[in-house]
Amino acid sequence: MKRCFALLLLAAPALAVELLPRGWPVHASLSGRVDLESYLSDGAPPALLFSDDELFFNPRASLFADVHLGSHWYAFAQARFDRGFDPGLNAGGKGRLDEYLLRWTPFDTPVINVQAGKFATVFGNWVQRHLAWDNPFITAPLAYENVLIMTDRTAPAGAGGFLARRGRTDTKGTWLPVIWGPSYATGASIFGRVERFDYAFEVKNAGLSSRPSAWRADEVGFSAPTYSGRLGFRPDAAWNLGISGSTGAYMIGEPTPGLPAGSERDDYQQSTLGFDASYAHGHLQLWSEVILSRFEVPNVGNADSLSYFIEAKYKITESLFAALRWNQQFFDTVPDGAGGNATWESRILRIDAAVGYRLSRSLQLKLQYSYAHENSPAENAGHLLATQMTWRF
Amino acid sequence: MTRFFILALLLAVTSGACAQGVVEGTVTLTGRPMGPAPTSHYGLNAGRVAESPKQLAVVYLEVPGVKKTPPAKPVVMMQSGYQFAPGVLAVQTGTQVIFPNDDSDYHNVFSYSKAKRFDLGRFRKNETPPALILDKAGEVRLYCEIHQHMRGVILVLDTPHFATTDAEGRYRLAGVPAGTFQLNAWLSEKTTIMQEVTVTVGKTLRVDFSGLRTASSR
């Protein structure tokens, strides 16, 4: 039986079930992905791993629906069934519609595209390759998943209370990273490509750091939109350079508890600036991002951070690849409420190393080891071992 | 005596050269595009995506014991308009195939087929194109890692007697030796129609493959 299943995986004709014959004016297809992930850490699981267990198993099934109506209209949806958008968030299992969009491309060239729905942010260069098949790693870069002492739930009473969070273990239910994964918030965007230039602008209902529950328009609404954009330049096929920006409210809930009298949550913004570069040639691919982010914290002031990563992937054979990523985050000071200044978060270094093997066009195995060092008494696990098997169909 | 011998030799050579026939006909094609509609969830191409190439057939004759040297010149499998061109290519075993990129974006051609497993990496327009020698008979199904709608196939054959149909399904095999052989019409990885044929010297044999209903398939 096991042998039959293995053969089925290897022999499965990738990819996509076409719901209508090819060549029709309407083209509809269903494709999917099954990810089986495991995480083993030597302490409190880091980043956006919500489980308290040091060994955690996370199966995930994803279904993708693509519908083309002629060459100018396109609709897409991604549904997932798993133990939470972030592993362990819903340990009992849950299904969600994570992405859906309707796109209009008025011309035959990609110069203008307009889309609306719930979809990945245009910020940076990591999100375009965040799905398991395209990401050489199992986890995201540090800026996209390392939770900080920043919260979207309540305003701190003062600098003392805010800084006191540094000594606590990560409270992932209320704390935020700089960017929450692919940030599938709801809204609309306009984007396109003209010769060597790309552009993309979006208006979304929630900030880059917002948690998945805030991405749904029916949960948070559009009363405090976030504006993001990216301008890209490709000197040639090998290089892709970009600058991204984003600004918008990051707190949710109205009224937000603890805000100074006379202020509203929209008065406190997250403003983020990013520079990205990628290079590829032959079997080598390199990516890098530098992200500067400022949270305006009620009763405290501006909390600034700088994050960056450099990532390399090399295909050793047609099936085997290796990848290495160096991530760091640095944090500025805020007034400590006692006349001085204090660094508002602990700086962190993380090195990710991964190997992957593609057995076929539909089956991939990955193994990742991460070492992290944080200057904090409440440091998360320093070592993480993760495995992932991905089957596409 | 010598003159007679030379005359006999000339006659033998001439008759040998003429001991060939022609097989031609049509294959009923589905006319379906080889690849799905291009889909880009998170990225954009530099230019317009061309229509997917239509599925063509390859007709080839199995002639036991006959092998010719593969062509010295490499055969081209282009990437143009974010599609493989041609979509279907037939070559003889041992042929070198090159993969030039005619688009402004990278392509990354790969195959996990039994006949050839490779990944050419990312290569750009005007760069010396990667080349492969296809040394094992069979189907080599081509994909691009970056543009997932792209589909192509190279059929590697152990015979020099093959032809790819045109869009109407027409084919012509000239210079075929006389005798009784198996004629195959390859339509897809799942469908090859086979028919026994007898080729007569100096004559044209017409063989139409009118579809799965009238022919055996494997």
Q: Measured between beta carbons, which residues in chain B are less than 8 angstroms from residue A283?
A: 119, 121-122
CA A196 to chain centre: 26
Q: Which residues of A touch B81 (CB under 8 A)?
A: none
Q: Are strands A333-335 and A94-104 parallel, antiparallel or unpaired?
A: unpaired
Give residue A3's pLDDT.
54
φ/ψ region of B55 (left if φ > 0, alpha if ψ in -120 to 50, else beta) reads beta
- Give the total residue count for chain B: 218
Which residue of B lies nearest to A318 if distances are taken between CA atoms? Answer: B119
- In chain B, the residue whose alpha carbon lies closest to the alpha carbon of A313 is B121
Q: Distance (Å) from the C-alpha of residue B111 to the closest C-alpha of chain A?
A: 8
Instruction: Tell me the Cα Rg of chain A.
Output: 21
CB contacts, 8 Å: B83 with chain A: none
A108 interfacial to chain B (CB closer than 8 Å): yes
Rounded CA-CA distance A385/A4 in Å is 29
Please check whether residue B204 touches A, CB under 8 A.
Answer: no
Phi-psi region of A223 (alpha: psi -120 to 50; beta: other; left: phi over 0): alpha
| β-pairing verdict for A73-82 and A341-343 | unpaired
* Contacts with B, A 124-163, CB within 8 Å: 127-129
Q: Are A40 and A63 in contact (CB under 8 A)?
A: no
Name chain B contacts of A29, Cβ cutoff 8 Å: 36-37, 39
Residue B179: Cβ within 10 Å count: 16
The pLDDT value given to residue B7: 43
Give the chain A residue whose CA is nearest to the CA of B54.
Answer: A23
What is the C-alpha separation between A373 and A173, in angstroms, rounded? 23
Q: What is the CA radius of gyration of chain B?
A: 20
Q: Does A66 touch chain B (CB under 8 A)?
A: yes
Low-confidence ranges of chain A (pLDDT < 50): 1, 5, 7-9, 11-13
For B104, nearest residue in chain A (alpha carbons)? A237
Beta strand extents in A181-335 (DSSP E only): 186-194, 197-204, 226-233, 239-249, 269-281, 284-297, 301-315, 320-331, 333-335
Section B180-206 average pLDDT = 92
Contact A193 B124 (CB under 8 A): no
B30 close contact with A: CB closer than 8 A: no
Can you tell me the distance from the alpha carbon of B204 to that of B197, in angstroms, rounded to the nearest whole number? 12
**Which pair of tokens denotes residue B64?**
């036991």
Q: Do A285 and B44 touch (CB under 8 A)?
A: no
* Cβ <8 Å between A68 and B37: yes
Give me the total of CB pairs closer than 8 Å, taking one residue from chain A and one from chain B. 86
Task: Write the residue in A29, A64, A129 that is nearest to B36 by C-beta.
Answer: A29
Residue of A nearest to B105 (CA): A237
In this model, does residue B214 exceed pLDDT 70?
Answer: no
User: By three-state DSSP, how is residue A375 classified?
Assistant: coil
CB contact under 8 A, B125 and A237: yes
- Retrieve residue B154's tokens: 């190279």
Tell me the residues of chain A between 215 and 274 that have a Cβ less than 8 Å away from chain B.
234, 236-238
Task: Find chain B residues with C-beta within 8 A of A193's C-beta.
Answer: 44-46
All domains in chain A, ordered by first residue? 16-31+63-309+331-346 (2.40.160)
Query: Which residues in A73-96 are b (16+ Cβ under 10 Å) and which e?
Result: ebbbbbbbebbbbbbbbeeeeeeb
Which of B119, B140, B189 to mutate against chain A (most A CBs within 10 Å)?
Answer: B119
Cβ-defined contact of B44 to A195 (cutoff 8 Å): no
In the predicted structure, residue B6 carries a pLDDT above the cut 60:
no
pLDDT of residue A337: 84
10 Å Cβ neighbour count for B11? 10
What residues does A276 pair with on adjacent strands? Answer: A242, A289
Which of A16, A76, A109 is nearest residue B36 as measured by Cβ atoms? A16
Rounded Cα–Cα distance for residues B9 and B19 (Å): 15
Name the closest residue on chain B to residue A21, using Cα atoms: B32
pLDDT in tens, B117-173: 999 999 999 899 999 999 999 999 999 999 999 999 999 999 999 999 999 999 999
- Chain A residue at shortest CA distance from B48: A109
Is residue A65 within 8 Å of A76, Cβ to Cβ? yes
B51 lies within 8 A of chain A by CB: no
Structure tokens at A14: 């990738």
Question: Is A283 within 8 Å of chain B by CB?
Answer: yes
d(CA B54, CA A50): 49
Please give the pLDDT value at position B19.
Answer: 65
CA–chain centroid gap for A249, Å, is 18
Chain A's closest residue to B55, CA to CA, is A22
The yes-or-no verdict on residue B67 having pLDDT over 80 is no
Three-state SS annotation for chain B: CHHHHHHHHHHHHHHHHCCEEEEEEEECCCCCECCCCCCCCCCCCCCCCCCCCECCCEEEEECCCCCCCCCCCCEECEEECCEEECCEEEEECCEEEECCECCCCCECEEEECCCCEEECCEECCCCCCCEEEECCCEEEEEEECCCCCCCEEEEEECCCCEEECCCCCEEEEEEEECEEEEEEEEEECCEEEEEEEEECCCCEEECCECCHHHCEEC
Distance CA B122, CA A30 (A): 28
pLDDT tens sequence across A2-35 = 555 454 445 444 567 877 776 678 889 899 999 9
What residue ranges define each of the domains in chain B, with the CATH number in brackets? 20-217 (2.60.40.420)
Chain A touched by B128 (CB under 8 Å): no
Q: Among partner residues B44, B52, B148, which is closest to A198 by beta-carbon distance?
A: B44
- Asked if B211 has any chain A CB less than 8 Å from its own CB, the reply is no
Residues of B in contact with A108 (CB under 8 A): 48
Q: Using a CB–CB cutoff of 8 Å, tell me whether A17 touches chain B.
A: no
Per-residue model confidence (pLDDT) at position B41: 81
Note whether A22 contacts B33, CB cutoff 8 Å: yes
Model confidence pLDDT, tens digit, residues A238-284 = 999 999 999 999 988 766 777 888 888 888 999 999 999 999 999 99
Nearest CA in chain B to A14: B148
Residue A23: predicted pLDDT: 64
Residue A98 sits at the chain B interface (C-beta within 8 Å): no
Q: Do A358 and B112 touch (CB under 8 A)?
A: yes
Question: Can the peptide bond before residue A15 be classed as cis, meaning omega within 30 degrees of 0?
Answer: yes
- Selecting from B44, B104, B121 the residue whose C-beta is nearest the C-beta of A237 gives B104
